Structure 1
Amino acid sequence: MSNEIDEAFRPSRLRSLLDHFAVIEDPREPPKVRYPLREVLFLVVAATIADCEDYDEIALWGRNHLDFLRRFSEFHFGTPCADWLRVVMNRIAPALFQACFTDWALALRPDAPKLIALDGKTSRRSHDRGAGRKALHLVSAWATTE
């Protein structure tokens, strides 16, 4: 388990995460809910921080790290499969999820830089159409408060 995940999910930060996501209403019918929305959202965020890129990876990560997840919530039925994660997450407004996640992330580090300056260059003559090699692109990013 990486230190970044442990740091991001200290108990106080978990409460903050759950508070930020509490505004998202569960779109499912209560009798059909096997996995509480708070656990689904927690799993998705934790697995994403652990570098999972799709629902299959998130589901696998959840099964492999169930002991870690249970430090923060019951996960009585374990973790949902990838298809069920997809169903639940597709019923939540993406903009609302993004706003909740962004607010939580900013709350973790209130002194974080507010702007990111980007600069990009394409290296001349770095492509070779005959060999199917595309041009080399370089991007630099700086975090700044001004």
Structure 2
Amino acid sequence: MSVVPLDILPPSRLKALLDHFGEIDDPRVPWQVAHPLPEVLLLVVCGTICDCEDYDLIAEWGEAHLPILRRYLPYHHGVPGGRWLTILMNRIDPHLFASAFTARVRATWPQRPDFVAIDGKTSRRSHDRATGRPPLHLVSAFATTARLMLG
């Protein structure tokens, strides 16, 4: 896992990123939310950019870089765990997430033609028929012109 400092991210770009992801609906009950969706999305995006391959690594990265993350958002309850991140990210509408990501790429590089490759996979044997839980679906988006990957 490589380390990329967030100090180089200007606040205006971060605000634009959070504004684009603000279009994503939070599927949770509002009064039971300990970790607001903008905090979770910032954590996941930064962890993904820093080469974290799964949500457990993203949670570890977030714990290690919590003071830096708190410069941008409060994180009153700290960073959520990997299992919790997996559950929440699987509940987010992938089409809405893809459109928010595409809008972010277009806003960042308006002069370049925008091609975003979206790929999805379903993990075998990740379902639980006894409880009616569907299989795990993974979605990744690749901005071809910008050479930026978000999984």
Report the TM-score when normalising by structure 1: 0.71
After superposition, the Cα gap between the structure-2 partners of 1:112 and 1:49, relative to the gap in structure 1 and judged at 3 Å, is farther
Instruction: Indicate if the aligned counterparts of 2:105 and 2:114 stay in contact, CA closer than 8 A.
Output: no
Using the alignment, how far apart are the partners of 1:2 and 1:89 within structure 2? 23
Say how many residue pairs are matched.
116
Superposed displacement of residue 113, structure 1: 4.3
What residue number does 1:59 align with? 59
What residue number does 2:4 align with? 2
3-state SS of the aligned residue for 1:18?
helix
Superposed displacement of residue 23, structure 1: 1.1
User: Over aligned residue pairs, what C-alpha RMSD do you find?
Assistant: 2.1
Find the structure with the greater CA-based Rg.
1
Segments of 5+ residues of structure 2 without an aligned counterpart are 117-143, 146-151
What residue number does 1:136 align with? none
What residue number does 1:17 align with? 17
Using the alignment, how far apart are the partners of 2:106 and 2:114 within structure 1? 10
What residue number does 1:126 align with? none
Alignment of 1:30-69 (within 5 A): 30-69=30-69
What residue number does 2:75 align with? 75
Superposed displacement of residue 115, structure 1: 5.7
Percent identity over paired residues:
50
Superposed displacement of residue 32, structure 1: 1.3
The AA in structure 1 aligned to 2:110 is P
Using the alignment, how far apart are the partners of 1:23 and 1:33 within structure 2? 18
1:29 aligns with 2:43: no
Using the alignment, how far apart are the partners of 1:74 and 1:90 within structure 2? 24
Using the alignment, how far apart are the partners of 1:115 and 1:34 within structure 2? 36
